Amino acid sequence: MVAPNTTPERILFLGGHRKCGTTMLSNLLDGHPQLAVFPQDINTLYAYYPLFLDKAYSDDDRLARLGRVIFDDLDANLADTAVRAQVDLGTMREAFFADPDSFDPTDMRQVLTRQLGTMVRHGATPAWFVAKETSSEIYACELFDWFPDAKFIHLVRDPRDNYAALKAGVTSYYASFGDSAGTLLASLVHRYTLGLRAALFNREHFGPDRYLIVRFEDLVAEPQKTVSAIVNFLEIDFSKSLMRPSILGQPTAGNSHEEIEMFEISDHNAGRWRERITGLEAQAIEFHFGDLMSEFGYACSYDAQDQMRAAAELYRFSNYRYFYHDRFAATGG
């Protein structure tokens, strides 16, 4: 699998807001013989770039950070799984950090080429190296500057269903980071509106032959048709493996917060937001996303007054949570 001398030029970036189906698509692409898919989020576009390019950090700091966010995290996430036996992390790490005198860790082109160059099956040179990172669409201009031959697939989802998927993980996952349903909703408004606006800008700016927008709902409802469009976009051969999610060739059950194992494409949670979130939450989402929802074919269900009242409730929460400074608080004395 490891090819330290391989220099990726044709990179397919997968992006979109978290819980929009990026992991599912990455896992569907995994088994294709013409693709080399990094087996999880690449991490470097949010846990390394751009913060660690700042002059406050030394190259030793940067190399240590890259070791943690790429290889230590991969080791932890694959532990106790069948996939772990497929990965020689020692060789991957050695290949990544080889020839340090020629490696500039402030050059993101070098960082990404080294990272993805460790993922080659059977010594072959793939048609595309695949790098998934949620919200990476925000950096599309930089990514295409670094890799002029790259392409991008952007997953979008009805923001009400997107929030429902996030909310399902509050207790089991997000609470460990200090999140609540309210903080997840505030984050959705901030990050996903930016992501959807980026989708429209990027497709217009780079063209549909380089920037493909895929709706989660289309992928799960019409997988054959949607995957065929992806195959045409990448100019690769169709393979039956594209219908079966895997990680390095090993079948995977997905990453549902509801602990539902799905070893195939499933539309189980498409369009179920009414059952999974409150009316107030849905109204607030429609207030903030209404114009964008219509751009992507999602219809609002509430009137403008209900949306405005719900948006005011969310404002009260997020303002006190993130922005408000109480200058009237008693200071003692």
Determine the pLDDT at residue 330.
Answer: 81
> Which carries the bigger pLDDT value, residue 143 or residue 256?
143
pLDDT at 2 (0 to 100):
39
| Planar angle of CA 186, 282, 163, nearest 5 degrees | 55
Q: How far apart are CA 31 and CA 245, in angstroms?
A: 8
Structure tokens at 279: 């009316």
Query: 234: domain CATH number?
Result: 3.40.50.300
Residue entry with tokens 């509430």: 302
Specify if 277 maps to a domain. Answer: no
Count, residues in the chain? 333
Does residue 1 carry a pLDDT above 80? Answer: no
Q: How confident is the model at residue 262 (pLDDT cuts 50, 70, 90)?
A: low
C-alpha torsion angle, residues 92, 98, 102, 107 (rounded to 10): 30
pLDDT band at 259 (very low <50, low <70, confident <90, very high): low
Reference 136, options 121, 124, 152, 147; nearest CA is 152
Which pLDDT band, with edges at 50, 70 and 90, does 255 fall under? Answer: low
| 202 contacts 211 by C-beta, under 8 angstroms | yes
pLDDT category of residue 86 using cuts at 50, 70 and 90:
confident
> Cα–Cα distance between 174 and 103 in angstroms, integer?
36
Tokens of 120: 């080659």
Residue 213 inside a domain? The answer is: yes
211, containing H or E segment: strand 211-215
Question: Does residue 288 fall inside a structural domain?
Answer: no
* Number of domains present in the structure of the chain: 1
Lowest mean pLDDT among 4-13, 136-145, 200-209: 4-13
* 134 vs 123, more confident: 134
The DSSP code for 243 is G
**pLDDT at residue number 5:** 40
Average pLDDT over residues 167-177: 93
In a domain, 263, yes or no: yes
Residues ≥6 apart with Cβ < 8 Å to 184:
163, 166, 167, 170, 174
Q: How confident is the model at residue 81 (pLDDT cuts 50, 70, 90)?
A: confident
The chain-wide mean pLDDT, for the chain, equals: 92
Within 13 A of 45's CA, how many CA atoms are on the CB side?
Answer: 22
How far is residue 20's CA from residue 171's CA, in Å, rounded to a whole number?
19
Give residue 18's identity as a one-letter amino acid code: R
Domain that holds residue 55: 11-158+202-270
Asked whether residue 285 is domain-assigned, the answer is no
Model confidence pLDDT, tens digit, residues 184-196: 999 999 999 999 9
User: Does residue 50 have a cis bond before it (omega within 30 degrees)?
Assistant: yes
Specify if 4 maps to a domain: no
Q: Is the pTM of this model over 0.85?
A: yes
Q: Is residue 228 part of a domain?
A: yes
Confidence check: pLDDT of 294 > 90 = yes
Residue 316 lies in a domain: no
